Homo-oligomer: A and B are copies of this chain.
Amino acid sequence: MAEPTRTDKRQHIVETAYALFKRVGFHATGIDRIIAEADVAKMTMYRHFPSKDDLMVEVLGYRAGRFERQLDRLAEQAATPERKIGTIFDWYGRWFHSADFHGCLFAHALAEFGDPAHPVFQAAARQKNDLKRRMRLILEEMMPADEADSTSAALLMLIEGATLMARMGQPAAAIRDARKAAMAMLAARGRPQ
């Protein structure tokens, strides 16, 4: 009964690969290392994922899904648009300070796979676009659509930049300054230029 079922193996490979890609990188992580740490045979991995590319895409999808579900839960608890955006920044603040923070896996994927036609590039870009859309929909509750679009873009930039700064060893300053700028951006709305 402690025996893992078939589909468990698949998920176990995904999670092991996720941990390695995050810590070590995509190119720098070899198949041999993934199967060694996951403790599965090579053919088991290749049965589930025809190639390393497929595995990377699956890992990114898995991570993106987990991220979306967490933000969904947080959004429910917040009443106003400002607070909803605030909970997103809160999430990033906690993430920056978590023990196994190694930067954004999606940004790293975009960095390592420069070809926009590559499935890994596309899977990573999808997550960024999804996050921007999420924030845009929130902002549309409090401002016109075009303004919500440019503001959500700016918020996404702050988040991505803050993640980079956190990665460079300044997690506390990163989230503080990003949050401050974001809140000022929302509070200043409607004021005369």
Contact = CB atoms under 8 A, between A and B. Distances in A.
Number of this chain's copies in the assembly equals 2
Contacts of A191: 188, 191
B193 A185 contact: no
A127 B78 CA distance: 38
A178 B157 contact: yes
Taking residues whose C-beta sits less than 8 angstroms from the other chain, chain A's interface range is: 35 or more
Interface stretch (A34-42, A54-62, A161-169): A161-169
A177 interface: yes
A167 B181 CA distance: 23
A116 B112 CA distance: 18
A153 interface: yes
Contact of A111 (B103, B125, B128): B103
Contact of A150 (B23, B114, B180): B180
Contacts of A164: 107, 110, 128, 157, 160
